[in-house]
Structure 1
Amino acid sequence: MAASMVCLCRFVWRHGSRILPRRTGLCPSFRSRLHCSSPAHNGLLLSLNKRGILKDSFPQNAAQDELPRLLQSGAQTVYCGFDPTADSLHVGNLLAVIGLLHFRSAGHHVLAMLGGATAQIGDPSGKSSERERLSADAVETNTRSIRESIQRIFTNHELYFHDSPRQLGTVTVLNNLSWYKDWSVVGFLSEMGRHFRMGTMLSRHSVQSRLRSADGMSLTEFTYQMFQAYDFYHLNQTHGCRIQLGGTDQLGNLMSGHELIHRVNGEEVYGLTIPLVTSSVGDKLGKTAGNAVWLNRDKTSPFELYQFFLRQPDASVEGYLKLFTFLPLAEVENLMEQQREDPGKRLAHKRLAAEVTKLVHGKEGLESAKRCTNALYHCSVQALEEMSDEELQELFREAPFHELLLEPGTTVIDTCRRINAIPEGPRGYQLVSDGAVWINHSRTYKPEQVLIPKLHILSNGLTLLRVGKKNFYIIKWLSL
Structure 2
Amino acid sequence: MQFFDDLQWRGLIHQTTDDGLAAWLHKQPRTLYAGFDPTADSLHVGHMMGLIMLRRYQQAGHTALAVVGGATGMIGDPSGKSAERNLLSKDDLERNVAAIGEQMKRFLDFGGAKPTAKLLNNFDWTSGWSYLEFLRDIGKNFPVNVMLAKDSVKSRLGGDAGMSYTEFSYMLLQAYDFVHLYKEHGCELQAGGSDQWGNITAGIDLARRMHGAHLFGQTWPLLTKSDGTKMGKTEGGAVWLSPDRTSPYEFFQYWRNVDDSDVGGCLRMLTELSHEEIESLDKSREDDAAKRESQVRLAEELTRLVHGQEGLDAARRASEVLFGAEIAELDDRQLVSIFRDVPSTEVPRDRLAGDGLGILEAFTLAGLSKSNGEARRTLGNGGAYVNNRRVDDPKRQLTTADLASETVMVLRSGKKRYALLRFAE
Query: TM-score, structure 2 length as denominator?
Result: 0.86
Distance 1:445 1:332 in 2: 47
Higher RCO (CA-CA < 8 Å; seq separation 6+)? 1
Q: Is residue 235 of structure 2 the alignment partner of residue 292 of structure 1?
A: no
- Return the offset for 1:53: 1.1
What's 1:137 paired with?
Answer: 91
Q: 2:298 aligns with which of 352, 355, 359?
A: 352
Give the letter aligned to residue 364 of structure 1: E
Q: Is residue 162 of structure 2 the alignment partner of residue 216 of structure 1?
A: yes
Q: Is residue 324 of structure 2 the alignment partner of residue 379 of structure 1?
A: yes
Distance 1:223 1:380 in 2: 56
Q: Is residue 35 of structure 2 the alignment partner of residue 87 of structure 1?
A: no
**Aligned counterparts, 1:397-436, within 5 A:** 404=349, 406-412=352-358, 416=362, 421=366, 432=375
Q: In structure 1, the residue corresponding to 2:33 is in which secondary structure? A: strand
> How big is the alpha-carbon RMSD for the aligned residues of Structure 1 and Structure 2?
3.4
Q: Is residue 15 of structure 2 the alignment partner of residue 56 of structure 1?
A: yes
What's 2:223 paired with?
Answer: 277
Q: Is the 8 A contact 1:386 1:460 kept in 2?
A: no
Q: In structure 2, the residue corresponding to 1:342 is in which secondary structure? A: helix
Distance 1:69 1:402 in 2: 67
Distance 2:227 2:267 in 1: 20
Q: 1:245 aligns with which of 176, 187, 191?
A: 191
**Aligned counterparts, 1:193-212, within 5 A:** 193-212=139-158
Q: Is the 8 A contact 1:107 1:169 kept in 2?
A: no
After superposition, the C-alpha distances for 1:128-163 in whole angstroms (9 at most, x for unaligned) are 1111111111111111111111112336x99xxxxx
Q: 1:184 aligns with which of 118, 122, 130?
A: 130
Q: Is residue 381 of structure 2 the alignment partner of residue 439 of structure 1?
A: no
Give the letter aligned to residue 472 of structure 1: L
Q: Is residue 254 of structure 2 the alignment partner of residue 254 of structure 1?
A: no
What's 1:26 paired with?
Answer: none
Further displaced range: 327-336 or 407-416: 407-416
Further displaced range: 183-192 or 247-256: 183-192
- Return the offset for 1:232: 0.7
Closer, same or farther: CA 115–437 of 1 in aligned 2, 3 Å: farther
Distance 1:95 1:144 in 2: 20
Residue correspondences, number? 414
Q: In structure 1, the residue corresponding to 2:192 is in which secondary structure? A: strand
> Unaligned regions of 5+ residues in structure 1, if any?
1-38, 159-167
Q: Is residue 189 of structure 2 the alignment partner of residue 234 of structure 1?
A: no
Q: In structure 1, the residue corresponding to 2:208 is in which secondary structure? A: helix
Q: Is the 8 A contact 1:403 1:475 kept in 2?
A: yes
Q: Is the 8 A contact 1:464 1:475 kept in 2?
A: no
Distance 1:350 1:82 in 2: 29
- Return the offset for 1:458: 5.7
Q: 1:301 aligns with which of 232, 241, 247?
A: 247
Q: Is residue 53 of structure 2 the alignment partner of residue 108 of structure 1?
A: no
> Unaligned regions of 5+ residues in structure 2, if any?
none
After superposition, the C-alpha distances for 1:6-53 in whole angstroms (9 at most, x for unaligned) are xxxxxxxxxxxxxxxxxxxxxxxxxxxxxxxxx8xxx22111010011
Q: Is the 8 A contact 1:242 1:270 kept in 2?
A: yes
Identity between Structure 1 and Structure 2 (%):
38
- Return the offset for 1:337: 2.1
What's 1:119 paired with?
Answer: 73
Q: In structure 2, the residue corresponding to 1:131 is in which secondary structure? A: coil
Q: Is the 8 A contact 2:331 2:405 kept in 1?
A: no
Distance 1:114 1:289 in 2: 28
Distance 1:183 1:286 in 2: 37
Closer, same or farther: CA 349–324 of 1 in aligned 2, 3 Å: same
Closer, same or farther: CA 285–318 of 1 in aligned 2, 3 Å: closer
Give the letter aligned to residue 392 of structure 1: L
Give the letter aligned to residue 95 of structure 2: T
Q: Is the 8 A contact 1:85 1:139 kept in 2?
A: yes
Query: TM-score, structure 1 length as denominator?
Result: 0.77
- Return the offset for 1:404: 3.8
